[in-house]
Chain A
Amino acid sequence: MNVKSSPHLAVQPTVAQVMRDVLLALIPGVAAYVLFFGPGVLLNLALAAASCLAFEAAALRLRGKPLRPFLGDLSALLTGALLALALPPGAPWWLVATGCFFAMVLGKHLFGGLGYNPFNPAMVGFVVLLISFPLEMTRWPGPQPLWDAATDALSSATPLDHVRTQLGLGRTLAEIGGDAPLGWLAGRGWEWVSLGYLAGGLWLLARRTIRWQIPAGVLGGLFLTALAFWAADGDRYASPPFHLLSGAAMLGAFFIATDPVTAATTPRGRLLYGLGIGVLTYAIRTWGNYPDAIAFAVLLLNICAPTIDRYTQPRVYGHRPRQEP
């Protein structure tokens, strides 16, 4: 083996390598998605990827930037993939295209393109759609496993939505537990999709593509808040595992909140940023108007990221912390 003498400098991965890793890490989650909910999500993925690339190319053209280096860095593809996974499978094509337009043009290129956008583009697109088209955005198909063709493709509420509605009707969680959309820990089918994202996320952690602080913060914040309320009143507040394995918690913790452009960058700052997302997600899920809240929580913490960074600068070795006058 050919080992050079020190100093050893680590080669920074290129943007395209990071994006490719993240895209590959989505595979287990997407596979579980297809297995439990049918191939509809693949159509969304293809449509969103194509639209995002098209809008990115159009925006680059308008701004007079070269197409090849920016299209080749796969960031548009990743934005499209994350947006597609957040949309209900079988969403109408114009819904996907509108979301991609807002994500790429308003969320990204109006601010100056990759690296300059203060908000996560995929979440900007998602929130615009959620606010503008509530009907289409809440029409989710029920579980429709590939091995069980007999199940009919009726649309149904997502587990989070179902629990929320039924709690509002005055039922207790023990009674709701046996309902159709719920499985052994969280939503039927959904828990496996979440575990798929978890597996992909752990692979990203092992490869050091993402750092542990943000996912730990998001999941920890969500878990601890849910635990506190569940312990106080288990009939009215869903269990911590339910919250972790429902909705977009896993996808958000490992793939969305960890966006290197819009997240906090200092080690302590990342932990705080993650915790903020986790706690806010629980709060909006439980007392807000929308069933899931990862997108809102991520956007709100995106605003705070520069401030968090400013107050969590690590001490430089050999220097005293600056004395505030």
Chain B
Amino acid sequence: MTMTPYAKIARDGLWNNNPGFVQLLGLCPLLATSSNVVNGLSLGLATLFVLTCSNAAVSAIRAYTRPEIRIPIYVMAIAALVTVVELFMNAYLHGLYEILGIFLPIITTNCVLIGRAEAFAAKNPLPRAAFDGLMMGLGFTLALATLGGLREVLAQGTLGSGAHLLLGEPFRGAHLTVIPEYRGLLLAALPPGAFIGLGLLVALKNSIDARLKARALQAQPIAQSSPQAI
């Protein structure tokens, strides 16, 4: 089996196979914690950490894992890592821990983690698996933060409110007011806003892809693209 090049792993995780916008995995935290940038970013970073470590762990033990019981083994590895993150956040980022609530332990059941363990980590050597976890995690964080930003601007007219929860006391109140004196579109803060926002972002990504494809097709010489002309 040929090794997947690192560049492709990065491209897949961040864009082509983005867990949030393309695979539409992990929708539960994606929709529930994206009410603002800080919440989205925090849960994204927690997932990123767990995903990188769990991919590495699954890859490291892949030779000893019996296929019949591989899923429980993956879940146990992931659950152990989630517990570490949860305890860490409870101790050092308690405000954030309170806000994210159930969505922190529920990372265990996030389909992105099992999905990557099964589809990539169990078949690839450790460095590549860890890199895949990092890139997929970054892609997921990107999706969460973008959706969080979109919803926060529409709902409150600010960006980065509550930054002190993630960065510490000096950053209290250090948010950007994008639209001053904004009345606020309550819909964006409510669950339907998450669904509509995600739908719009997926549409935006697809339209960017279509545009890039059309441009690439145009740049290609015609003789190459139609071999049946002979």
A133 near B190: Cβ-Cβ < 8 Å: no
Across the two chains, which residue of chain B brings its CB closest to A102? Answer: B187
* In the assembled complex, B126 has its CB within 8 A of some CB on chain A: no
Residue total for A at the interface (Cβ-Cβ under 8 A): 8
A131 near B187: Cβ-Cβ < 8 Å: yes
Q: How large is the interface on B (under 10, 10 to 19, 20 to 34, 35 or more residues)?
A: 10 to 19
Enumerate B176-230 residues with CB–CB distance to A below 8 Å. Answer: 183-188, 190, 192, 196, 203
A163 to chain B, nearest CB (A): 26
Please, how many angstroms separate the alpha-carbon atoms of A132 and B183 in the complex?
Answer: 10
Majority DSSP secondary structure for residues of A touching B:
helix
* In the assembled complex, A106 has its CB within 8 A of some CB on chain B: yes
A131 near B190: Cβ-Cβ < 8 Å: yes
Q: Give the residues in chain A near B184, CB-CB below 8 Å.
A: 132
* In the assembled complex, A128 has its CB within 8 A of some CB on chain B: yes
Looking at B183, B184, B192, the one whose CB has the most chain A CB atoms below 10 A away is B183
Looking at A106, A128, A132, A134, the one whose CB has the most chain B CB atoms below 10 A away is A132
Across the two chains, which residue of chain A brings its CB closest to B154? Answer: A132
A133 near B183: Cβ-Cβ < 8 Å: yes
B185 near A132: Cβ-Cβ < 8 Å: yes
Contact with B along A113-157 (1 / 0, CB 8 A): 000000000000000100111100000000000000000000000
A106 near B196: Cβ-Cβ < 8 Å: yes
B92 to chain A, nearest CB (A): 37
Q: Give the residues in chain B near A106, CB-CB below 8 Å.
A: 196
Q: Give the residues in chain A near B185, CB-CB below 8 Å.
A: 98, 132
Q: Give the residues in chain B near A131, CB-CB below 8 Å.
A: 186-187, 190, 192
B186 near A132: Cβ-Cβ < 8 Å: yes
B35 to chain A, nearest CB (A): 15
A111 to chain B, nearest CB (A): 11
Across the two chains, which residue of chain B brings its CB closest to A135? Answer: B183
Enumerate A20-63 residues with CB–CB distance to B below 8 Å. Answer: none
B187 near A132: Cβ-Cβ < 8 Å: yes
Q: Give the residues in chain B near A133, CB-CB below 8 Å.
A: 183, 186
Across the two chains, which residue of chain A brings its CB closest to B186? Answer: A132
Q: Give the residues in chain A near B196, CB-CB below 8 Å.
A: 106
Contact with B along A166-206 (1 / 0, CB 8 A): 00000000000000000000000000000000000000000
Please, how many angstroms separate the alpha-carbon atoms of A131 and B192 in the complex?
Answer: 11
Contact with A along B61-87 (1 / 0, CB 8 A): 000000000000000000000000000
* B contacts, CB < 8 Å to A: 183-188, 190, 192, 196, 203
* A contacts, CB < 8 Å to B: 98, 106, 110, 128, 131-134
* A-B contact sample (14 more), CB < 8 A, given A106-B196, A110-B203: A98-B185, A128-B187, A131-B186, A131-B187, A131-B190, A131-B192, A132-B184, A132-B185, A132-B186, A132-B187, A132-B188, A133-B183, A133-B186, A134-B186
